[in-house]
Structure 1
Amino acid sequence: MADDALRSSVSTLYDEHHVWLKNWLRRRLPCADQAADLAHDTFLRVLTQREPVMPDTPRAFLTTIAQRVLASHFRRQYLEQAWLETLAQQPELTAVSEETRALWLETLYEIDRLLETLPPVVRKAFLLSQLEGLSHAQIAAELDISIATVKRHIVKAGTLLYFAQ
C-alpha cells in the first residue's frame, strides 16, 4: 500500500515538474542530454525514499535534490578527469585495458560516494593522510584538532571503506 502511494506521489511530481526540472538543469549544463539524464537521476533519488512525497513546495524540493545530483555529477567528472590525466602520465608499458580502467573508475566513484557520507572534518583528515601523506601531527595542526581526534577520524573513514560492500 505504501509503495502504491509512493509511486503515485512521484508520478504526480514527475508529470507536473519534469519538464521544468530538465530546463532548470539545462541552464547549468552544456548538453541537453546530460540535463535529461540528471533530471531522471533526480527522480530516481526521489523514488528511493521510503515515504510518499508530498512537498509543499515541489520545485524547491526538486531543486535541492537536483543540486545534489549535479554536485555528484561534477565530482564524478572531476575524478574521471584526474584519473585520465594520471593514466596519461604513465609509461606505455603500464597502460591498462578499457575494462580495467572502467573497474578502477567505478571503484573511485564508490570510494567518493562513501567518503561523502562522512562529516567534512573526518573526510578531510582521511584525505590529508592518504592523499597528501601528512602525519597525524601535521593533520592535527592543519585542522586545529588533537592528534587523538585525527586518529579517530582516520580509523572511522578507513573502517567505512574497509567494510563497504
Structure 2
Amino acid sequence: MNIQIKELPDDLFLTTAKMITKLMNYHRKLNNAPKEYWQTDEESQETLREWIQEGSVYNVFLDNEVVGFFYVRFGGQNAAWLEDLFILEQYRNKGIGRYAMKKLDELMIEKNVVAIFVDVIPRNTGAIKLYRELGFDHLNLIQLRKNYDKRLDKEDEVEILGFNFKKY
C-alpha cells in the first residue's frame, strides 16, 4: 500500500472542497443537525480558502489517487493543531488514515513541532479511538456547550472528571 501526503496542489482544490462538504455534513449527520445547518460545496470552497490562509492542507494519496486530506494549523511555541482529518468513506477501515497520520507525525517532527492538538466531538468515538491509539493521550482542554436551539439537545451522557454532560 503506497500512501503519501502532499501539500494541496492547485489542481485538487475543487476535489478537496467536495471532501470538506462530506466531512462537515458527516458531523452534522452524526449530531442529527437539521438540514438547514448542512454545508454546501460553495461554502466548502470558502472554508478551504480560509484554511489555506490560516494553515496547511495536505492531501492523502493511495497509489497516486487522492483519498483524503488533513488540515493543520500552526501556532506559537512550535505547536500545531490537527483541525481536520478526512478519508473518503470507501477507503476507511483499511489503515490508510492511521498510516497517513504516521506520515503527518514525521512531517511535524521535520518542522520541529513539539506538540500537536486535536479536537474531537464526544460522539465520534471512532476518531477518539484512532487518536488514542496514535498517541494522543493528554487531555488538554474541555469545551462546554449550551444549546439555544433545543433540536440540538442530546440524551446520551458522558462522565468527565466527576461531572455528567450530554454527549454531543
TM-score, length-scaled by structure 1: 0.26
Looking at secondary structure, tell me which structure has more helix per residue.
1
Q: Which has the larger radius of gyration?
A: 1
Structure of greater relative contact order (alpha carbons < 8 Å, 6+ residues apart): 2
